A = this chain, B = another copy of it.
Amino acid sequence: MKLLEQRIATDGVIKNGSIIKVDSFLNHQMDVNLYREIGEEFYRLFGNCGVTRILTIEASGIGIACVTAQFFDVPAVFAKKSKSRNIDGDMYTSSVESFTYGTTYQIMVAADYIKAGDKVLIIDDFLAKGNALLGLIDIVEKAGAEVAGCGIVIEKGFQEGGKILRSMGINLHSLAIIDSMDESGVVFRKQD
């Protein structure tokens, strides 16, 4: 997605060679006009997959999932990372190892909000090692639902997540894939 690649090149800030900060437009401050372009592109890519529900994970996936869900006209659901007092009843859970935080955490979705027969589009802002996405896929499968696809805004192509997911046969599209980056800039993978 050209517009997104240009935005990453212009406003992304590279730290320590493997971290790219895009918090000026994607995951702290949120450019909702860009979000609409992202949602429209996800609809172009997954609009014919029979999606009945969009699933993401808190926190930075939520805004993208909501704006995208408007194009699909389906509900969005976010997996929660910790048990609050207000959640009870049956839940699907999975364990996720976080590269960013150096910890393992539980994610959970109330059983009412993913059902057998659902075709779930999983949306997230980043794909690196793929752990969060694998946890979300695990939850969809525990619910007896089907993964219609995974839509990622930025994939770090130099980490293994994309390769693992594609080798599993997941219908994965990343709007921008960074093959390499250093202080001088970002190299994107060519895509159709």
Contact = CB atoms under 8 A, between A and B. Distances in A.
Nearest to A84: B100
A127 B31 CA distance: 26
Contact of A65 (B33, B63, B102): B63
Contacts of A23: 86-87, 110, 113
Contact of A59 (B59, B73, B112): B59
Interface in A135-166: none
A86 B19 contact: yes
Contact of A73 (B21, B33, B62, B100): B33
Interface string A109-143: 11011000000000000000000000000000000
The prevalent SS among residues of A at the interface is mixed
Interface string A66-108: 1101100101111010001111100000000000111000000
A77 B26 CA distance: 10
A6 interface: no
Given A19-B85, A28-B113, A62-B62, 5 more contacts: A24-B112, A29-B75, A30-B69, A32-B76, A67-B67
Interface of A: 15, 19, 21, 23-24, 28-33, 35-36, 58-59, 62-63, 65-67, 69-70, 73, 75-78, 80, 84-88, 100-102, 109-110, 112-113
26 contacts: A15-B86, A19-B85, A21-B86, A23-B87, A24-B112, A24-B113, A29-B113, A30-B62, A30-B66, A30-B75, A30-B77, A31-B75, A32-B69, A32-B70, A32-B75, A32-B76, A35-B66, A58-B59, A58-B62, A62-B63, A63-B63, A63-B65, A66-B66, A85-B100, A85-B101, A86-B100
